[in-house]
Amino acid sequence: MIKIKPFVVAAAVLIALTLIIPAVLVLPFSDEHHASGKLGEDLTKTPAKEAKAVPASSDPAVDVAVFRTAKSTIESVQLEDYLVGVVAAEMPVDFKDEALKAQALTARTYIVNRLINKDTLGVPKGAQVTDTVIHQVYMNDAEQRRDWGANYEWKKKKIVDAVRATAGQILTYDGKPIDALFFSTGNGYTENSEDVWKGKFPYLRSVSSPWDKKSPKYNSQKVMSVHEFETRLGVNLGSGSTIGKIIDRTAGKRVGKVDFNGKVLSGIEIREKLELRSSDFAWKRKGDNIVITTKGFGHGVGMSQYGANGMAKEGKTYQEIVKHYYKGVEITAADHMLDRVTAKK
């Protein structure tokens, strides 16, 4: 974490992926980092029973082919090294250990799901995943040494310990790896998946996330001219002080739809067009400008990273964290699934 990456760079690609070919994404507002999975099917099966605790083991010797965007090269790395690189890039190392373990578990779930399904959407030939927010952000050991400097040793150990503490484990629903989406900071709640994308997932339900309110990314403000606001949204506000009417809210207390004198836009559309941190927004007109305030940072589906850290501070385990944010899931050994990957090589 968390490095903020420009919204514009990934927005167009993400919209196409989510609307045309629902598939794994990591959402675009990266100080929020997030991984995800295929969003397009309607899963309605009853949640499976709680699984027994899965003992820590070791991750199998599986190679992951990562497309390094900056150099346009493919880097082949062992699964454990890949997971360490993802957690290092996706979550602040000073977060609590249990939050880092939860992040490691979501990262492993994501890549295992991608490998067993031979999903290469959005990657060049020969690669299995990119190192960007379109999939999972990744930094290798050399980049970690460069960024962490004198803090490299303790930061590296902390992340390796988190990955190994969850080794061999993934999150499943009805026996299949889940789409383990995550994001930076909620508005006090998470979202139902279908309120953000077309796919309805029984484990991606709106839940309370009060720990988000202590995140430094909880509140933000953006100011733009009335002209820019109208141009981006394709609306005409007129000379009055009214700026559209909110006619619907989501289960996660975000803006569902806004009516601008007959033209209705979704909160997601507005967030994307105005490049807002969240779709929980409010605004007011001040002269020739519009002041927009938002709560939260990210799409709001799945695990809140700052929420996970807040739970960890209260003494919750990584198992309790993931089972709060992903409803009805089990923590399952991934070995038999990855065996299918290695057997085909």
Q: Which of 57-66, 96-105, 126-135, 257-266 has the lowest mean pLDDT?
A: 57-66
What confidence tier does 343 reach under pLDDT thresholds 50, 70, 90? low
Whether the per-residue pLDDT at 226 is higher than 80: the answer is yes
Distance CA(113)–CA(23), nearest Å, equals 11
Q: Which of 17-31, 161-175, 249-263 has the lowest mean pLDDT?
A: 17-31
pLDDT at residue 135 in the model: 92
The share of the chain scoring above pLDDT 70, in percent, equals 81
pLDDT at residue 57 in the model: 55
Q: Where are the domains of the chain?
A: 7-214+299-343, 219-295
Mean pLDDT to the nearest integer, 122-132: 94
User: Any bridge partners for residue 331, and if so which?
Assistant: 171
What confidence tier does 60 reach under pLDDT thresholds 50, 70, 90? confident
Whether the per-residue pLDDT at 213 is higher than 50: the answer is yes
Whole-model pTM over 0.85:
no
What confidence tier does 335 reach under pLDDT thresholds 50, 70, 90? confident
pLDDT at residue 344 in the model: 55
pLDDT at residue 242 in the model: 84
Mean pLDDT to the nearest integer, 69-92: 96
